């Protein structure tokens, strides 16, 4: 719906001016989206955040160094030692390929940016793209004004910022753009019926499949919309062009991505699209027959076609049902099932239910993540129904499904955010449209009375009149375009009815301008602006304070100024520079990606938690007494053990706080590790009341070794207590490095002892404070002490 | 030849008879009471519709503590307490009915087989058998225990892992199979709709089908009314932003009562919410949007300027109040207040 071209030269000038202005607004929106995400770089530094992005960064480094073919066949032996991991076949390559391409282009232009810099700024750049995609999508639905508003809202929305600040180099960074852009191309195809856009749509879908597992949302939402259009009698050839090529090309392309492969045709998540594909063909056939036959012949034919069509449909549905029913989980993955039946995960899959981002959100989450958009969305929904077009029905469907899914998993708030922005943009834009129109037109009337003979206002009046005319025309034109759009589906009987309903509205529009009282409108505009500024203030705060911490560099503000804790990188740099290239480093899986990426050393387990037994082995080693742990680590060729300890500076997410998970996961595979052994009366504690098993396990010892030397008392500032066992020595491990704030401690496994003749028989009480539970460990004297 | 063989046969017969008699004589002393017990259990079992035997302290001692080991049967016991049945978080009534389903499935699978008398399903109630609860050492519910033939002390019997209760009947059947090595057989879940109801529904559907198809073809169903879709969309939105999914998944009550017995509708702390609280805020969220939509799309069509003015003022007051309410509630609940972020040099 482009503004109508006016015959007057003044009108074209105004339109051209509007176009240029719109372009610059869009440019500014892009700058806004990019720059609001730079708080993390300004407040901290240009660094990759958290855990998973380090893996993506490492893959990108590999890609930029070795090229795409090497990347595709990359078997990574630096991780999951001794198993390794086939990286090329198990990652969604979209993000990596995107950043790699950007780096390659920049370097070809002789702009020597490092891979890390490109990775850090990928997410903000794609946020700007996502804002532009939102503009195009909303423009297709409700016009330029709504598009610009929606794009502005999306540039700022906190839910999306949380996943796309500079340095947050994760799949979602590019996937949200791909998602919106795919939807835009679908709507564009639906509005134009152009095969060109349909092909682009399939390609965009391919990019989405490359980028994120969330592509299943698209391949279920679009069939749902197509089905909805068919059921409500909105079938048209444009719908066919928008839908059929997407399914065929999209599925073929999706199967090209190694990590998806034959899942694209084998799993139930994709079956809905095939089912609708069949239905749309049946419907298209019916319409075709209807077009070439006389009404009477059609009556005869339709019974024939319907029986055949229904028979085919039933046969295919039966096959699908049989296929689905033959698999144990009915062909759905656990995560998808938990979306359909929200209580499923909490009942059957504790590992999914336990992850914090899979929790169902409460109402404050909505206020935090989409803020005032939560208020505006219902108005947007209603605006989309007045009048309902194919495009606006799609937007409403997108919102309804995503808001339901976000209610099940807080993580899916990210998918809701664009929908909420689009609908709020429509609502805000329509409200401003009505209110400013009321103010402008009535202000003119008001001024016209007393100042009619003053020459100064002469300039203003024509433009104002022009506006009246334009508004009138726009309303008429809107209705006209509406009609144009409806025309192909006018073959439907009920369309006529709708048009007759619309006719009086149209004449009513032409008769009288729709305005509200002047002063009330002015107040309402002010209120809306206040509401909007609340949103901006909240978003800036969220971007600056809530979502910008990289969690690899920590800061704390105290009375004597800002403290920076850079212990993680200190430790990884130490490993990189002081250990052999092939040394294996054991740590809890959280630090696996970081160790491989920053220290370039082989790890036993990492954040891609695909092998539970392996993780359990490490968990068992951490929960075992020193000697048993040494044996486990030695059998895995481990040279160094890395633990994260926050007791000195009060960093709460350290290994001691995660330790019960190590015990649980370890105990799940190796039953001799029992959780109650580590708990005193069901309480987890590390003070003097702690159980002997706890005080003798490797994690306790590695965390608190020499800790008493810091303050003389051994006071743990996270657990807020003095530790239970203060003075002890290590028999099988030696401390090789402890960072400045003791946050990371690295130990080396001592080499195996030489056998000492005659000493092995005599159990002798030693001065070593080893536990009584260890029967054989204390019998051998350690030559290294 | 013939008489000799007859004598031989007779003597063989006698020998067998004597052997059998003596065998039954020696074994019979111990089995006769066992058989009695089994028969008694079976008669008790037949009295209960689902085959779950209701035990009390007397029956516990009769069937378990005073019986010579090894006992000829396994007993699986469900510990119930009528005083705790009202506590929704324990799910006792649901678990008890699942237990009955397992019992029925077992009975159906083993009907007429000797294995049917190897395992009996029992339940015991806390109020009437407190001493048995202490003998078993049961101090928390829900609790299911299996007393195997060789169990000497009741407190040594195998108890079912508490975390497995969430999987209901399947977990109970697995537990039984793993401990007794007797297969329970397929779990016979009761059908939600009985066959007769199914037939009636099918018939009704068949009769209605032509009318429905006619309506669909004519485009006159509710599905073709966009207002229905609009109301549905707004409702789904309201339902989701009010955090109802959280309430369903977590089984949150609509409200709580504090120590003085006054109702509490709002829970302080961001990780949790009560049902009523969610609906109130969800309503406020939706209300603002609806008012805005009415002003933008409905009010402009009114002819009377006075009515327009009055309604707009009312709408603005309502919106202002609703937004302010949500902000203050959010501030109270999570401690977050909307505040600006300034560069440190501007302060």
| A532-541, A572-581, A594-603, A656-665, range with the lowest pLDDT | A656-665
Q: Cis (ω within 30 of 0) for the bond into A604? A: no
Average confidence (pLDDT) over A54-61: 93
Q: Tell me which of A235 and B18 has the higher pLDDT.
A: A235
Q: Determine contact, residues A254/A264, Cβ cutoff 8 Å.
A: yes
pLDDT of residue B163 exceeding 70:
no
The average pLDDT across B80-90 equals 76
**pLDDT reported for residue A32:** 95
Tokens 């297709």 locate to: A140
Locate B165 and state its tokens: 């209760």
Rounded to whole angstroms, how far apart are CA atoms A695 and A707?
Answer: 14
Asked whether the predicted pLDDT for residue A768 surpasses 50, the reply is no
Test A362 with B273 for CB contact under 8 angstroms: yes
Least confident of A168-172, A548-552, A624-628, B319-323: A548-552
Cβ of A128 under 8 Å from any chain B Cβ?
A: no
Mean local confidence (pLDDT), B259-263: 77
Q: How confident is the model at residue B27 (pLDDT cuts 50, 70, 90)?
A: very low
Q: How confident is residue B216, by pLDDT bands cut at 50, 70 and 90? A: low
- A233 contacts on B by Cβ (under 8 Å): 219, 224
Count, in order, helices (H) and strands (E) of chain A. 33, 11
| Whether A605 contacts A662, CB under 8 Å | no
Give A683's pLDDT tier (boundaries 50, 70, 90): confident
Q: Which of A706-710, A720-724, A725-729, B194-198 is least confident? A: B194-198
How much of chain A exceeds pLDDT 90, in percent? 42
Most confident of A224-228, A336-340, A449-453: A224-228
- The mean pLDDT of A297-303, rounded to a whole number, is 74
Tell me the pLDDT band of A261, cut-offs 50, 70 and 90. Answer: confident
Model confidence pTM above 0.80 = no
Contact criterion met (CB < 8 Å) for A379 and B290: yes
A219 against A496, higher pLDDT: A219
In this predicted structure, what is the pLDDT of residue A477?
A: 44
Average pLDDT over residues A236-252: 93
**Residue A327 at interface with chain B, using a CB cutoff of 8 Å:** no
More confident residue, A156 or B38: A156
> Is the model's pLDDT at A142 over the cut of 70?
yes
Give yes or no for residue B317 having a pLDDT over 90.
yes
Q: Does the pLDDT of residue B22 top 60, yes or no?
A: no
What pLDDT, on a 0 to 100 scale, did the predictor assign at position A31?
Answer: 96
In order of B91, B126, B177, the CA distances from B141 in angstroms are 10, 10, 22
Task: Mark which residues 514-533 of A lie under 8 Å from B by CB.
Answer: 514-517, 519-521, 523-524, 527, 531
| Per-residue pLDDT at B118 exceeds 90 | no
Among the partner-chain residues A375, A382, A521, the one whose CB lies closest to the CB of B230 is A382
pLDDT band, very low/low/confident/very high, at A496 (cuts 50, 70, 90): very low
Contacts of B272 in chain A (CB under 8 A): 362
ipTM of the complex: 0.80
Pairing verdict, β B158-159 and B119-125:
unpaired
Task: Tell me the pLDDT band of B2, cut-offs 50, 70 and 90.
Answer: very low
How many CB atoms neighbour CB A59 within 10 A?
A: 23
- CB contact under 8 Å between B250 and A360, yes or no, is yes
| Runs of H (alpha helix) within chain B | 2-47, 57-60, 92-109, 130-136, 168-180, 195-218, 226-241, 244-250, 275-293, 305-334
Q: Does position B10 have pLDDT exceeding 70, yes or no?
A: no
Q: Would an 8 Å CB–CB cutoff place A692 in contact with chain B? A: no
Residue A630 has pLDDT above 80, yes or no: yes
Residue A688 or A529, more confident: A529
Q: For position A264, what pLDDT does the model report?
A: 86
The distance of A564 to chain B (nearest Cα, Å) reads 17
**Cβ-nearest to B285 among A231, A362, A375:** A375
What lies within 8 Å, CB to CB, of B276 at 6+ separation is: B254, B255, B265
Could you give the angle at the alpha carbon of A597 between the alpha carbons of A595 and A601, nearest 5°? 50
Q: Which of B245, B290, B308 comes nearest A360 by C-beta?
A: B245
pLDDT reported for residue B227: 85
Question: Chain A residue closest to B242 (CA)?
Answer: A363
Instruction: Report the chain B residue with the minimal C-alpha distance to residue A43.
Output: B343
Which residues of A are less than 8 Å from B316 in CB distance? 520, 523-524, 527
- pLDDT, tens only, A427-478: 999 999 999 988 988 888 888 766 544 444 344 444 444 444 444 444 444 4
Picking from A396, A434, A538, the nearest residue to B300 by CB comes out as A434
Chain B interface includes A232 (CB < 8 A): yes
Q: Which is more confidently placed, A249 or B251?
A: A249
Q: What is the pLDDT of residue B161?
A: 72
Task: Summarize the confidence of residues A500-517 as an average pLDDT.
Answer: 53
Q: Do B246 and A403 touch (CB under 8 A)?
A: no
Whole-number Å distance between alpha carbons of A441 and A418: 34
Q: How far apart are CA B293 and CA A104, in angstroms?
A: 49
Mean pLDDT for the stretch of residues A603-621: 86
How confident is the model at residue B316, as a pLDDT? 92
Indicate the average pLDDT of chain B. 78
- Of the pLDDT bands very low, low, confident and very high (cuts 50, 70, 90), residue A774 is very low
Mean predicted confidence (pLDDT) in A586-602: 90
Mean pLDDT along residues A317-332: 66
* Contact indicator for A137, A183 with CB cutoff of 8 Å: yes
Question: Which range (A581-595, B155-169, B259-273, B324-338) has the least confidence?
Answer: B155-169
Predicted confidence at residue A304, as pLDDT, reads 75
B266 in contact with A, Cβ within 8 Å: no
Residues 67-126 of B with CB under 8 A from A: none
Cβ–Cβ below 8 Å for A520 and B240:
no
Residue A489 reports pLDDT greater than 70: no
At B218, the pLDDT band (50, 70, 90 cuts) reads low
The answer on pLDDT for B1 being more than 50 is no
How sure is the predictor about B318, in pLDDT bands with cuts at 50, 70 and 90?
very high
pLDDT at A344: 64
Query: Residue B310's CB: how many other CB atoms inside 10 A?
Result: 13
Distance CA A22, CA A18 (A): 6
The pLDDT of residue A767 is above 50: no
Question: Residue A499: is its pLDDT beyond 50?
Answer: no
Cα–Cα distance measured from residue B347 to residue B81, given in angstroms and rounded to the nearest whole number: 64
Q: Using pLDDT thresholds of 50, 70 and 90, give the confidence band for residue A38.
A: very high
**Residue A1: predicted pLDDT:** 39
Worst-scoring range by mean pLDDT, A28-32, A197-201, A693-697, B159-163? B159-163
Predicted confidence at residue A451, as pLDDT, reads 53
Q: Is B188 helix (H, G, I), strand (E, B) or coil?
A: coil
pLDDT band at A243; cut points 50, 70, 90: very high
Residue A137 predicted with pLDDT over 80: yes
Gap between the Cα atoms of A372 and A153, Å rounded: 10
A380, with CB counted inside 10 A (0-12, 13-18, 19+), is buried
**3-state secondary structure at position A650:** coil
Q: What is the DSSP letter of A781?
A: P
Q: In the predicted model, is pLDDT for residue A512 greater than 70?
A: no
pLDDT digits (tens, 9 = 90+) for B195-214: 778 888 888 888 887 777 77
Asked if A266 is an interface residue toward chain B (Cβ–Cβ < 8 A), one would say no
Confidence of residue A63 (pLDDT cuts 50, 70, 90): very high
* A676 inside 8 A of chain B by CB: no
Residues of chain B in contact with residue A367, where contact means CB-CB under 8 angstroms, are 326, 330
Q: Determine how many CB atoms are found less than 10 A away from the CB of residue A175.
A: 27
Closest approach of B204 to chain A, Cα-based (Å): 21
**Distance separating alpha carbons of residues A701 and A704, to the nearest angstrom:** 5
CB contact under 8 A, A379 and B316: no
A478 — contact with chain B (CB < 8 Å)?
Answer: no
Identify all chain B residues contacting A504, using CB atoms and an 8 Å cutoff.
none
Chain B residue whose CA is closest to A426: B293
For residue B140, count other CB atoms closer than 10 A to its CB: 8
pLDDT band at B64 (very low <50, low <70, confident <90, very high): confident
Partner A, chain B 224-263, Cβ-Cβ below 8 Å = 224, 226-227, 229-230, 232-234, 236-246, 248-250
Contact B258, B264 (CB under 8 A): yes
Check residue A454 and give its pLDDT: 44
d(CA A610, CA A605): 9
Helix A52-72 / helix A94-108 crossing angle, nearest 10 deg: 80
Residue A491 scores a pLDDT above 90: no
> Residues of A numbered 399-438 whose beta carbons fall under 8 angstroms of chain B's beta carbons: which are they?
399-400, 403-404, 406-408, 427, 430-431, 434, 438
Q: Which of B70 and B277 is assigned the larger pLDDT?
A: B277
> A491 in contact with B at a CB cutoff of 8 Å?
no
Inform me whether the C-beta atom of residue B299 falls under 8 Å from chain A C-beta atoms.
Answer: yes
d(CA A701, CA A730): 8
Q: How far is B221 from chain A (nearest CA, A)?
A: 9
Q: B168's torsion region: left (phi>0), alpha (psi -120 to 50) or beta?
A: left
A390-404, B280-294, B330-344, range with the lowest pLDDT: B330-344
pLDDT of residue A494: 41
Distance CA A533, CA A538 (A): 8
pLDDT tops 60 at residue A533: yes
């Amino acid at each position: 719906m482009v503004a109508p071209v006016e015959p007057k030269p003044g009108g074209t000038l105004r339109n051209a001016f509007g176009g240029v202005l719109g372009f610059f607004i869009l440019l500014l929106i892009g700058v806004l989206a990019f720059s609001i995400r730079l708080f993390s770089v300004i407040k901290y530094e240009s660094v990759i955040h958290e855990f998973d992005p380090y893996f993506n960064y490492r893959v990108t480094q590999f890609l930029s160094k070795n090229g795409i073919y090497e990347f595709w066949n990359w078997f990574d032996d630096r991780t999951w030692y001794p198993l390794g991991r086939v990286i090329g076949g198990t990652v969604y390559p979209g993000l990596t390929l995107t950043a790699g391409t950007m780096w390659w282009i920049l370097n070809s232009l002789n702009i020597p940016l490092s891979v890390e810099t490109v990775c850090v700024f990928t997410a903000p750049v794609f946020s700007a793209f996502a804002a532009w995609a939102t503009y195009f999508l909303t423009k297709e639905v409700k016009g330029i004004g709504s598009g610009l508003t929606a794009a502005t809202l999306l540039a700022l929305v906190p839910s999306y910022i949380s996943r796309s600040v500079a340095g947050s180099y994760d799949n979602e960074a590019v996937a949200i753009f791909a998602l919106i852009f795919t939807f835009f191309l679908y709507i564009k195809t639906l509005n134009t019926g152009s095969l060109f856009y349909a092909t682009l749509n399939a390609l965009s879908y391919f990019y989405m499949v490359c980028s994120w597992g969330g592509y299943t949302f698209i391949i279920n939402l679009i069939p749902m919309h197509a089905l909805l259009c068919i059921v409500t009698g909105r079938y048209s050839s444009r719908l066919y062009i928008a839908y059929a090529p997407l399914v065929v090309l999209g599925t073929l392309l999706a199967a090209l991505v190694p990590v998806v492969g034959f899942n694209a045709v084998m799993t139930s998540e994709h079956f809905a699209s095939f089912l609708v594909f069949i239905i749309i063909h049946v419907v298209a056939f019916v319409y075709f027959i209807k077009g070439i036959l006389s009404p009477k012949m059609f009556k005869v034919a339709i019974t024939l076609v319907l029986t055949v069509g229904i028979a085919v449909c039933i046969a295919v549905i039966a096959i699908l049902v049989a296929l689905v029913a033959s698999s144990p989980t009915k062909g759905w993955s656990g995560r998808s099932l938990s979306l359909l039946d929200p209580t499923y995960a909490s009942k059957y899959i504790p590992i999914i239910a336990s992850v914090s981002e899979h929790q169902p959100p409460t109402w404050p989450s909505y206020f935090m993540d989409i803020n005032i958009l939560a208020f505006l969305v219902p108005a947007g929904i209603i605006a989309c129904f007045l009048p309902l077009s194919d495009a606006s029905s799609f937007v409403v469907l997108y919102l309804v499904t995503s808001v339901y899914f976000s209610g099940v998993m807080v993580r899916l708030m990210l998918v809701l955010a664009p929908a909420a922005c689009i609908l709020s943009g429509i609502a805000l834009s329509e409200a401003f449209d009505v209110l400013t129109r009321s103010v402008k037109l009535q202000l003119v009337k008001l001024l016209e009375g007393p100042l009619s003979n003053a020459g100064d206002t002469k300039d203003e009046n024509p433009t104002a009149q022009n506006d009246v005319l334009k508004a009138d025309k726009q309303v008429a034109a809107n209705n006209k375009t509406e009609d144009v759009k409806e025309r192909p589906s006018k073959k439907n009987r009920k369309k006529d009815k709708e048009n007759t309903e619309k006719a009086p509205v149209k004449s009513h529009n032409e008769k009288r301008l729709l305005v509200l009282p002047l002063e009330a409108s002015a107040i309402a505009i002010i209120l809306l602006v206040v509401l909007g500024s609340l949103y901006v203030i909240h978003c800036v705060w969220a971007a600056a304070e809530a979502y910008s911490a990289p969690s690899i560099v920590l800061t704390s503000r105290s009375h004597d100024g800002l403290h920076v804790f850079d212990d993680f990188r200190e430790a990884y740099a130490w490993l990189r520079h002081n250990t052999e290239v092939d040394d294996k480093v054991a740590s809890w899986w959280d630090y696996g990606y970081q160790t491989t990426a920053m220290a370039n050393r082989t790890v036993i387990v990492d954040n891609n938690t695909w092998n539970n037994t392996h993780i359990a082995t490490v968990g068992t080693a951490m929960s075992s007494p020193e000697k048993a742990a040494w044996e486990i680590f030695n059998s895995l060729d481990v040279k160094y053990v890395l633990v994260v300890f926050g007791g000195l500076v009060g960093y709460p997410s350290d290994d001691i706080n995660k330790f019960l998970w190590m015990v649980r996961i370890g105990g799940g595979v190796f039953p001799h590790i029992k959780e109650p052994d580590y708990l005193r009366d069901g309480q987890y504690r590390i003070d003097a009341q702690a159980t002997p098993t706890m005080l003798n396990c490797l994690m306790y010892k590695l965390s608190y070794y020499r800790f008493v030397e810091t303050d003389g008392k051994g006071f743990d500032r996270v657990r807020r207590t003095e530790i239970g066992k203060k003075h002890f020595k290590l028999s099988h491990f030696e401390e090789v490095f402890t960072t400045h704030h003791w946050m990371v401690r690295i130990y080396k496994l001592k080499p195996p002892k030489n056998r000492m003749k005659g000493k092995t028989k005599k159990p002798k009480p030693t001065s070593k404070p080893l536990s009584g539970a260890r029967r054989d460990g204390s019998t051998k004297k350690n030559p290294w002490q | 030849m013939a008489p000799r063989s007859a004598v031989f046969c007779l003597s063989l017969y006698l020998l067998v008879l004597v052997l059998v008699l003596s065998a039954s004589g020696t074994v019979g002393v111990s089995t006769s009471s066992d058989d009695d017990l089994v028969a008694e259990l079976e008669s008790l079992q037949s009295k209960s519709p689902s085959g779950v035997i209701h035990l009390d302290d007397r029956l516990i001692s009769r069937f378990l503590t005073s019986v010579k080991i090894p006992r000829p049967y396994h007993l699986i016991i469900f510990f119930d307490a009528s005083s705790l049945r009202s506590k929704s978080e324990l799910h006792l009534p649901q678990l008890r009915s699942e237990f009955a389903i397992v019992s029925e499935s077992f009975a159906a699978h083993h009907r007429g087989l000797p294995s049917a008398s190897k395992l009996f399903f029992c339940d015991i109630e806390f109020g009437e058998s407190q001493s048995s609860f202490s003998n078993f050492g049961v101090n928390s519910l829900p609790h299911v225990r299996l007393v195997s033939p060789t169990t000497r002390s009741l407190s040594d019997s195998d108890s079912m892992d508490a975390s497995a209760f969430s999987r209901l009947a399947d977990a109970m059947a697995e537990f039984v199979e793993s401990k007794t090595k007797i297969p329970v057989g397929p779990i016979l879940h009761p059908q939600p709709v009985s066959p007769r109801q199914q037939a009636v529904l099918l018939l009704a559907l068949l009769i209605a089908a032509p009318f429905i198809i006619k309506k669909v073809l004519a485009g006159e169903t509710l599905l073709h009314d966009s207002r229905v879709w609009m109301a549905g969309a707004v409702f789904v939105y309201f339902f989701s932003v009010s955090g109802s999914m959280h309430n369903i998944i977590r089984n949150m009550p609509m409200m709580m009562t504090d120590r003085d017995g006054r109702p509490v509708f709002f829970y302080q702390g961001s990780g949790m919410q009560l049902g009523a609280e969610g609906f109130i805020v969800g309503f406020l969220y939706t209300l603002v949007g609806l008012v805005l939509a009415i002003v933008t799309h409905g009010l402009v069509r009114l002819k009377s300027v006075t009515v327009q003015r009055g309604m707009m003022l009312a709408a603005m007051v309502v919106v202002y109040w609703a937004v302010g309410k949500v902000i203050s509630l959010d501030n109270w609940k999570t401690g977050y207040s909307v505040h600006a972020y300034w560069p440190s040099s501007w302060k």
